Amino acid sequence: MLSALALSIAQLHDPPVRRVLFKSLALTLVIFVAIGVGAWAGARALVAAGFGAGWGEVAGLGAALLAIAGAWLLFRAVAVAVVGIFADEVIAAVEARHYPAALSKARPVSFARGMRMGLGSAGRAIGVNLLLSPLYLLLLVTGVGTAIVFFLVNGWLLGRDLGDMVAARHLPPAAMRGWRATTGGGRYLLGLAGTGLLLLPLVNLVAPVLAAAMATHWYHKRKPA
């Protein structure tokens, strides 16, 4: 993983990787702005209709602040989903530099399939974490239990997402399930590494792109199952 991370950092300056980084950051920002504006407008209109315009303004401001606070919790799901849409460009750039033979046999992932994978990633991340939210609350009394479980669960989720981004270029859809069954341990370690990067301030801005590049190195360097 350290070797994959070092190689991925070294390639951040490549034009294709930079383009994906800028596109993904811009789209992520647009999504969060839309969430904030939507929360403000919705709460403002709803409360104003029942209690008057003055209370509507207060409710709108409160909803916008809550949306901003919630952005930290949603960042992982949204950022990884967005990068998933453009991940094929990052993976192709890594393969062009380090694995040209694999690139020549790869089947590019269409924008539609990338979109489906990205939305599926976001849906799984939000759904599983919401399902486990009672456990997270119960573990708050331990001081560290919530953070540990969150890290382990999201590492597992991210491992699947990252592995699929690369495998989709080289395996037919029918073979994906079998491939996942034989690569669980490696994908989990990859997911834990990516989750760790996502938790680091500032680093988390480039973490999804780094993780996609790391996944490419992991896929091509791993020992056959």
Confidence of residue 80 (pLDDT cuts 50, 70, 90): confident
Q: Residue 214: its pLDDT value, please?
A: 94
Assigned token pair, 218: 């992991």
CA distance 183 to 4: 17
Lowest mean pLDDT among 7-11, 76-80, 108-112, 176-180: 76-80
**191-222 tens-digit pLDDT:** 999 999 988 888 888 998 999 999 999 999 87
Residue 80 CA from chain centroid, whole number:
2
More confident site: 224 or 123:
123
Confidence of residue 225 (pLDDT cuts 50, 70, 90): very low
Mean pLDDT of the chain: 84
Host domain of residue 133: 2-221
Burial 167-194 (b: 16+ CB within 10 A, else e): bbbbeeeeeeeebeeebeebbbebbbbb
CA distance 154 to 177: 20
Q: Residue 64: its pLDDT value, please?
A: 65
Residue recorded with tokens 């596109």: 23
Residue 182 CA from chain centroid, whole number:
23
Split into its structural domains, the chain has a count of 1
pLDDT tops 80 at residue 166: yes
> Can you spell out the DSSP letters for 198-211?
HTSTTHHHHHHHHH
